[in-house]
Each structure stands twice: as C-alpha cells, then as structure tokens.
Chains A and B, each alone.
Chain A
Amino acid sequence: MAGVSFNGTSKHFDDVVALDQLDLEIPDGEFLVLVGPSGCGKSTALRIIAGLEEATEGTLHIGGVDVTDVEPQHRDLAMVFQSYALYPHKTVRQNIEFPLKSRKVPPADRRAEAETAATMLGLGELMDRRPGQLSGGQRQRVALARALVRRPEVFLMDEPLSNLDAKTRVQTRAELSELHATLGATFIYVTHDQVEAMTMGTRIAVLDQGRLQQVGAPDDVYDRPANLFVAGFIGSPPMNIVEAAVERIDGGIRLAIGTGAFDLPESWGAAVSATGIERVAIGIRPEHLRIGDGPIDGVVRTVESLGHERHIVCELAGTDHRPGDLVPGDLVIVRQSADDPAPRMGEAIHLGAEARHLHLFDPDSGERIDP
C-alpha cells in the first residue's frame, strides 16, 4: 500500500512560489505523469516526494504515513534522474549494487539481486563496463536497474527520456510501460513533453506556475480540458483557440468570428448568457474542423503535407487583430486526411465543425463553460 498524497503542499524559494497549495492523491500502483512547461513546479513536486526538498507548507503522505519530515533514505522510494546520476568510476554492476551495499546487504544477495535487475532490463552483457562506455539508452537502463534493485514501493522519474534520441525514446517509452505493468508499483513521472504524458500515464496531472490545472485520465484531459491552459497545452498540433463576440438574439446566443457567425445550441446558449460575458473563447481541435460549407469564412495560407495527413493553416476572414503584420488575422489549423482533396494556397474556404466538438471558455478566467 504505497500511494502518495499531497495535502496543501507548497514550496517557496525566497520570494518565488514554486508550488502553490498542491492537493493531489496518487493511488497505489498508478502511473502518474506530472506534466507542464518549464518552471511549472513538476520537478519541485517530485523532489518533495523524494525528500530532497522540504515543503514550506502542507504535508506529504506515502503509504498513508506522514513522511513530511522523514529523511530521503527512509522513504522506500527510488529515483531516476534526468542525467541518470550514475557513478562514473564504478562499473555497471557496482552501480546497480550500490543501494544494496549502502544498506549492508551481504555480497551474495547483492549480486543475485543485481543480476535479476540487470536481466530484466537487458543489461547482462554490460555488467563490467563503465558508464562512460555506454550509450544513452544503456545508461538509462542502468539507472533504472539501480532503482529497481531495492524493489521500492514508489518509483520517481525526472524527465528520464529527455536525453535520448527520438527512436530510442519511443522504444524506452514502451519498455517503461511494460515495467510498470510487471512491477505494479507506483510510478511518478515528470516530463514537459505532453506526448509522453498522454501515452504513458494512467493519469496525468497538468501543472502551470506552481498550480495544479487538471488531473485525470489522458483521454479525459484531452476531451474535456478544464481551462484554456490545459486546452492549449495538451494535444499536438495544439487546439485552435479563437475569440468570438457574443451576440444576443432572440432564442439564444450567436457567436460572431470575423465575417462569419453561428448560433449556439440552446444548452450552450443558456450557459453562456448566464455568465454574462461579452466575448467567449472557442476551442476546436484541428482534427474536428472541416473545410466545406461551414459558417466561418477563411483563406488558406499554407498547406503542410505530412505524408499521412495534411495541416492546412487558414486565416479567418474579418479578424484583423494585428494590422501591419504579414498575417494580420487569426489563424487556425485544420487536420485533413491525405485522401481528401487538398485546397490551394490563397483559396477562400468555409470552415465548420460539429457542435459536440466545441469547447467554450471564459476568456478572462480561462475556465471551461459547460452546457
């Protein structure tokens, strides 16, 4: 039983607030990904779990036990650092055995455990080499083996894939997921890459500027972002966010974007008029936009072909928010299958989407508006 929970945990560095009142429950066995841009507090949160940083406020529990004041070595967790932190002067075997040696495990047992861990990660042949002689991926596996060897309840990982090349990264992602399934331990994983977050986590927790923005299963976060930040952060290419003017007409709300406009369905309309806002931010994912006969007018600016799909960048007509720029109007990206007919650059088109794919947000607070 080794879930982790933050209760009102904050961390201040002089006058900088790195973590602001974090409340987060991580059940035992979960693969939780902490994701967010640089400086959002994810690494700080991880280091607080490890005990390498002391929380300024709040508490931390591991396995139901309050460990806020417990030394790192007594928390029964293992950490894989971004730089792997391998001891360069020791062999792979010595590196893996080190945690056991520190806990005075007898040599025979040490050897056996190290062998097991090494085999699990395919390091058998490299045991007598030094880290300097290994590739990035191999070093990462040594770091993992070293973390494994104590069979901790919680595994912490601080951007472990960021130093690997793209191909190795993909391979290692799969290996990590498999490892998690095999061990059944709690994995807490920090990354700034939202693709990693989406593909690996049981749940992802999005942080920005020290505050938790949203936590949930990847699909949930993807389909129902709680605010503008999450909406724009999760998803690649990112969700299109456009501001529309709110017009009251009898029967509901009409949203005007540039030269185009459309009426909101009744449930939406009620929610929007209830807030009383004059402008609303509309989010629509690129794969949900259709070029054809929609209510919004636009002009094709670029057509990017990625082989299996196309990204079409369109400028919305009548939205000259940046006069003097090369492209003064708002831009949206449309994802189109390669099979569909490609529009030409400069072609005037119409854009539309299904109502169920719309996301509406209050432009000032960023909060989601639900129908």
Chain B
Amino acid sequence: MNRRPVNDRARTRTRTRRRWRERGLAFTLLLPSLLVFGVFVFYPFARTFWLGFFETDPFGGRRTFVGLDQYTDTLTSSSFRNSLWVTLKFTLLTVPTGLALGLGLAILAHQKLRGMGFYRTVFSSTVATSVAVASLMFISLLSPSVGLINQAIRWFGGEPIFFLQSPGWALVAISAVTVWQNLGIIFIVTSAGLQSLPDDLYESARLDGASAWSRFVDITVPLLSPTLLFGFVVLTITSFQTFGQVDLLTNGGPLEATNLIVFSIFETAFRDFNPGSAAAQAVVLFFIVLVLTAVQFKILERRVFYGR
C-alpha cells in the first residue's frame, strides 16, 4: 500500500480545495432557485425601482428622466396617503377578526366528536376558492335589490343597505369577503398548531381547577403564539396586497373608500397608463410593508413562546 506523505502544507491545500469544491457544489445546487428568484423577483423589483425614475407616455415609447420626482410626488400625494389610510383600516378590520374567527373555529373543531371531520373540511374549504369566486358570491349576497342580506332586512321591515355603493359600508363589505376567504388558511394553520399541544397540560389544568377561559388564555394562546404570530404577519402582508376584491366589487370607490393601495397602483398603471408613477408607488409600498413587518416582529416576537 503506497501512502503519500502527509505534511501540513498538503493538508491545508486539500482542505482549501475541498472547501471550494463544497462551495461550488452548494452554488450549483442553489442555481435553479437563484435563477427563478432572479427572473421573477429580483429582476422585476430592480426594474420597477428603475422605472420609478422615469416619466413615461402611455405607449412605452417616450421616457424622461425625472429623478426622485415621482417618488416624492407619491409621498406627498393626498391620494396615496388616503390609500394608505384605507389599507390600514382594512388591515385592522380583517386581521384580528380573521385570526380570532379562524382560531375560534379551530378550537370548536378540535373536539373529538363524531363527524367532526366534516366540519373540518367545511371550515378549511375557503382555501380552495379563488378571490374571483368569493367576490362574485358576495356581489349576489350584497346586492341592494336581489341580495339575500337585503331581502332579509326588507323582510324585517328595514331599508335596504347599499353595501357596495355607500362609502361607510363598502370597506366593511370588502373586509367581509376577505375575512371569509382567509378563514380557511387560518383554520388549517391553527388547527395544526392545536394538534401539537399536549393533552396532559389540559388535563393537569382541569385538575387544578382552571376554567375553560383560563385554559384558553393561559395555555392555548401562549403555546400557539408562534402560529398566531405567523398568521398575523402573513395576513397583514396579504392585506396590503389585496386587489381582486376591490377590482370586482367596488373599483376603489365609492369616493375612494375602498381604494386599497395595490388597487390604486393598478389604476395608475392601467387606467391612467402611467407606469412610471405606478412603479414609484409600488416601491414606496414595498418599503412601507418592510418597515411594518420589521416593527411587528420586534414588538410581538418578545411575547411569542417558542419550544417547550
């Protein structure tokens, strides 16, 4: 058996070579993901950022460099600020409600009763509906002339409510559609979380005399807090990205009461044919959501309990 003499220099050489080979392999394995991200995320983002510096004509032909003008216009425009405010209201309407309802349903469906599987399927089912389907359903439901809700109101002798046509109700209506749609995913995620909670903790609490509410507040919520944080952050981010419901139900109105930020950007790009300004707005939105998410994490993560 021939063995090459092993000295320190040789050892370091092979170690370095091995490290580079490992890095090369790592990079190669990451390449497909990097490619996909690069093409569909990084490049579009960088390009959007770039577009924000140019004022464009509707045909994509003429482009004038205007520096940060479109960005500053966005930040000072009252319409943009209104959209932000509307989006914030919308988030406040949909996120806590969605979480609470989803969690509530999950707890109800967590009992070991016969036939609970049926209810679990029903409660998760909204995950399978698209925004378009949900919106169309709600249009029929909310119609002032033929909608079920208004028919019920009329039956009780009341005046029909113009849900989608009155500035006061429109945002509530959009929120209802969104909460309904989010129920499925929140239900699934919190259900999974509930399954992982150990039974003997609850048994011990029962023996100790804890009431059902105390068991919920002292055991369920703290132990579910990672799931709840996840739901909270994800729901907030998606609420800032809401578009479909607005486009189908209210078109941003009435009186901009439902002019959610993404919808406003869409209109700037595709109704006003102003891609430059829309790009600037989109980038500003990105940074706002970034900051918001960071703040959420900072504040809430302290109260989240991970692990046992």
Chain A residues packing against B (C-beta within 8 Å): 50-52, 72-73, 77-79, 81-83, 85, 87-90, 98-99, 102-103, 131-132, 146, 150
Contacts and interface: CB of A to CB of B under 8 A. Distances in A.
Contact of B204 (A81, A89, A131, A132): A81
5 contacts: A72-B206, A79-B204, A85-B200, A85-B204, A103-B209
A84 to B, nearest CB: 9
A87 B200 contact: no
Contacts of B200: 81-83, 85
A87 B217 CA distance: 12
Contacts of B307: 88, 132
B198 A85 contact: yes
Contacts of A99: 208-209
Contacts of B211: 102
Interface residues of B, number: 20
B206 A87 contact: no
Contacts of B222: 89
Q: Which 8 A-B pairs have the closest CB atoms?
A: A99-B208, A85-B204, A73-B209, A89-B305, A102-B209, A85-B200, A88-B308, A102-B210
A136 to B, nearest CB: 13
A87 B218 contact: yes
B214 interface: yes
Contacts, number: 59
A98 B198 contact: no
Interface in B163-215: 198, 200-201, 203-211, 214
B223 interface: yes
A88 B207 contact: no
A83 B197 CA distance: 13
Contact of B203 (A52, A102, A103, A131): A52
A50 B223 contact: no
Given A52-B203, A89-B223, A102-B214, A73 B208 contact: yes
Given A50-B207, A131-B308, A146-B208, 16 more contacts: A51-B207, A52-B207, A73-B208, A77-B207, A78-B207, A79-B203, A79-B204, A81-B203, A81-B204, A82-B200, A85-B203, A87-B219, A88-B223, A89-B222, A98-B205, A102-B208
Contacts of B209: 73, 99, 102-103
Contacts of B205: 98, 102
A79 B208 CA distance: 9
Contact of B201 (A85, A146, A150): A85
Contact of A52 (B206, B219, B223, B308): B206
A83 B208 contact: no
A98 B308 contact: no
Contact of A73 (B198, B207, B305): B207
A85 B210 CA distance: 14
A127 to B, nearest CB: 18
Contacts of A131: 308
Most buried by B among A51, A83, A85, A131: A85
Contacts of B207: 50-52, 72-73, 77-79
Interface string B51-70: 00000000000000000000
